């Protein structure tokens, strides 16, 4: 079928999301995003695409060893946390360079005003990052990631909502300018998980240095948990579980019975913060221990991880080449040379 006559309803549901390799993954990332990614691979087997956004990371990381190390670390984290390569396509963004070509083509039909309105760009500049062209084009590259594999569902946090709106605008603009239906209109699937608090009670985030890493060693984990900020309440006085960081984190890694019991102990003054932290630490260790074991095993078999990433890239590239071929035809560029794939 000619790309000019493709209809939106011809796009099967396809999930895609990217994760930047910009530091150790923390409990906020896990409960706010990764858990949902892992669940979606079962809901959309064969139609879930997850990638390590290393091109995006270049907007902030200019250290080759660091970028490589962090990219490997995210790959191990995701596989250890349950990403199944036979259900989801998992790859490095840089193994699908077609996204860069597509980004340029899309940039030529994107009004600059769309990017000028980007909150994330403005925030990053305010925080002192150099205003590079790459940083400005960050949302354009995201749109290319999404549209290269013609994905329709993009699970992201609220902070990425505007980037998704831009991707929709960009897809629609391309379809409109070239009077085509090559691209679907992707929708954001916002995480329903509540914001996970960090050890200082603010939103857990790398930028606030208040994180608890999923794969922290036991002594680091203990130090972090014991440093969680709490209110100063006399021992034996009731504690309010609502909005309490220790209780909130405990709830995430405990059974519902354990959570209910802990709530009662809080309210009756039967537990102090010190003891609550000890119990939180124990449950954190139990919750993540199988993942840690799996990660250690994967670390011993990096060839297997590399094979998974290459297989994923092959699959994603196949989709991206197909997209770019259609796009080239629509806009009047030559087709790829035979054998390009």
Q: Which partner from the list ligand TRP, ligand ADP, none does 248 bind, CB cut-off 5 to 8 Å by kind? A: none
Of positions 20, 70, 152, 191, contacts ligand TRP by CB under 6 A: 20
| Residue closer to ligand ADP (CB basis): 29 or 98 | 29
| Residue closer to ligand TRP (CB basis): 149 or 228 | 149
Q: Rounded to an integer, what is the distance from CA 313 to the centroid of its chain?
A: 17
Task: Tell me the number of residues near ligand TRP by CB under 6 A.
Answer: 12
Residue 242: both structure tokens together: 């609502």
Residue 18 lies near ligand TRP (rule: CB under 6 A): yes
Q: Which partner from the list ligand TRP, ligand ADP, none does 142 bind, CB cut-off 5 to 8 Å by kind? A: ligand TRP
Residue 244 lies near ligand TRP (rule: CB under 6 A): no
Strands across the sheet containing 88-92:
88-92, 48-52, 15-19, 153-156, 187-190
DSSP string over 63-77: -HHHHHHHHHHHHHH
Residue carrying structure tokens 């603009």: 173
| Residue closer to ligand ADP (CB basis): 98 or 186 | 186
Q: What value does the CA radius of gyration of the chain take, rounded to a whole number of Å?
A: 22
CA distance 149 to 152: 9
Q: Which partner from the list ligand ADP, ligand TRP, none does 226 bind, CB cut-off 5 to 8 Å by kind? A: none
Q: Rounded to an integer, what is the distance from CA 14 to the centroid of its chain?
A: 16
Positions that interact with ligand ADP (CB under 6 A): 20, 28-29, 32-33, 156-157, 159-160, 191, 193, 195-196, 203-207
Question: Which position's Cβ is nearest ligand TRP?
Answer: 18
Phi, psi angles (nearest 5°) of residue 235: -60, 135
DSSP string over 222-256: HHHHHT-------TTS----TT-HHHHHHHHTS-H
CB of 156 to ligand TRP, least distance (A): 5
Q: Which partner from the list ligand ADP, ligand TRP, none does 196 bind, CB cut-off 5 to 8 Å by kind? A: ligand ADP
Question: Which position's Cβ is nearest ligand ADP?
Answer: 32
Helix (H), strand (E) at residue 92 = strand 88-92
CA distance 85 to 119: 34
| Residues between 151 and 170 that touch ligand TRP (CB under 6 A) | 154, 156, 160
Of positions 27, 76, 83, 146, contacts ligand TRP by CB under 6 A: 146
Question: In the stretch 52-81, what mask flags binding to ligand TRP with x, by CB under 6 A?
Answer: -x--x-------------------------
Residue carrying structure tokens 């537990």: 271
Contact residues: ligand TRP, CB under 6 A: 16-18, 20, 53, 56, 142, 145-146, 154, 156, 160
């Amino acid at each position: 079928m000619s790309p000019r006559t493709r209809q939106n309803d011809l796009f099967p549901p396809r999930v895609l999301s990217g994760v930047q390799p910009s530091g150790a993954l923390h409990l906020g990332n896990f409960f706010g995003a990764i858990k949902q990614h892992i669940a979606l691979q079962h809901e959309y087997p064969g139609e879930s695409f997850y990638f390590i956004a290393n091109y995006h990371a270049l907007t902030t990381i200019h250290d080759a060893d660091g970028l490589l190390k962090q990219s490997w670390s995210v790959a191990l984290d995701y596989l250890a946390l349950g990403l199944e390569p036979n259900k989801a396509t998992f790859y490095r963004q840089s193994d699908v360079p077609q996204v860069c070509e597509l980004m340029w083509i899309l940039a030529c039909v994107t009004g600059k005003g769309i990017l000028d309105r980007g909150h994330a760009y403005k925030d990053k500049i305010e925080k002192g990052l150099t205003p590079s062209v790459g940083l400005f084009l960050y949302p354009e590259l995201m749109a290319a990631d999404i549209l290269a594999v013609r994905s329709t569902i993009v699970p992201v946090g609220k902070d990425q909502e505007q980037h998704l709106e831009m991707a929709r605008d960009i897809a629609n603009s391309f379809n409109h300018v070239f009077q085509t239906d090559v691209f679907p209109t992707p929708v954001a699937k916002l995480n329903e998980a509540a914001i996970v608090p960090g050890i200082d009670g603010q939103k857990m985030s790398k930028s606030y240095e208040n994180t608890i890493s999923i794969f922290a060693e036991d002594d680091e984990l203990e130090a972090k948990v014991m440093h969680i900020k709490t209110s100063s309440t006399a021992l034996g006085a009731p504690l309010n579980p609502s909005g309490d960081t220790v209780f909130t984190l405990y709830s995430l890694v405990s059974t519902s019975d354990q959570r209910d019991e802990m709530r009662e102990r809080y309210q009756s003054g039967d537990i102090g913060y010190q003891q609550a932290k000890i119990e939180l630490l124990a449950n954190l260790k139990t919750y993540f221990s199988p993942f840690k074991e799996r990660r250690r095993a994967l670390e011993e078999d990096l060839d297997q991880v590399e094979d998974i990433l290459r297989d994923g890239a092959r699959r994603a590239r196949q989709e991206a080449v197909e997209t770019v071929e259609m796009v080239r035809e629509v806009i009047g560029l030559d087709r790829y040379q035979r054998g390009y794939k």
